[in-house]
Amino acid sequence: MSFAVNALGALNVARATATVRAGVVFFSTDYVFGGRDRERGHPYEEGDGLHPLNVYGVSKGAGEQLVMQANPRHLVVRSAGLYGTATSRKGWTFPELMLNKARTEGIVRVVTDQVLSPTFTADLALKTRELIEQDAVGLFHLTNAGECSWFEFARGVFDLAGVDVKMEPIRTDQTQRRARRPSYSALTTTRLAEVGLSRLRPWKEALGYYLRAKGLS
C-alpha cells in the first residue's frame, strides 16, 4: 500500500501534470533518513544521501525520484513532525494528544532518543505557496527551525500551555511500535536562500502561536 500511494500514485500524478504542462508538488518526509550515526546539531540538508529505515521512508524516497523524473516542473518538499490539522482518527495532533494525556492520566511517557524538527502545517503551507509563486523547482527542506526530541517537544507543549504534569522519559525500544524510526532526522535547508526566501521560524515560536490560536495556552 505504501508504494501504491507514495511511489506509483505520485508518479501517475506527476505524469498527468506534465502532460498538461503543469507543475507538481510532492510532500516527502524526514523518514528518508536513518540517523543512526548522526550527531545532534548536524541536521540533514537537501544534498545528503538517503538511508530510510522503514517501508514508509523507502516508498517516499522512491516517490521523490519518480516525481522528479516524470515532471521537470517538480517541487519536492521534505518536512517532519507535522501538527496543526488533526492527523489521527481520534482528532488530535501531538500537542493536543500530550495535553489530553496530562489531563486524563496525569503522567506522560515520551521517547527521548528520536530527534526531529517539529513543523506547524500553516507555516509549511505558506512557505510552499511562496515557492510556487517563485516558480521554484527542485528539492526543498521545509521545517520550523531547530531540533528537539519528542520528549523535549512535549515539554515545550506543557511549558507554553502552563500545564504541570509528571513526565517520564523512555527509549524507543520500550514502546510497542513495530516500524523502525530514525534516531535523528532533524532537517535544515540550504536551498531557500538560493531562491531568495527566508527559513521558517523557530519550532518553539511556531508552537506557541499554535497553542494560543487554539486557545490552549
CA distances from 15 to 65, 71, 151, 197 (A): 13, 6, 41, 28
Q: Which residue has the cell 540517523?
A: 35
Catalytic-role residue among 56, 184, 209, 210: 56
Distance CA 140, CA 4 (A): 24
The phi and psi torsions of 57 (rounded to 5 degrees) equal -65, -40
Sign of CA pseudo-dihedral 56, 58, 120, 104: positive
> β-strand 119-120 against 82-83: which pairing, if any?
parallel
Nearest to 111 by CA among 28, 181, 37: 181
Look at residues 187, 103, 100 and name the one whose alpha carbon lies nearest to residue 141.
187
The rounded distance, in Å, linking the Cα atoms of 41 and 205 is 19
Active-site residue flag, 209 = no
The catalytic site residues sit at 56
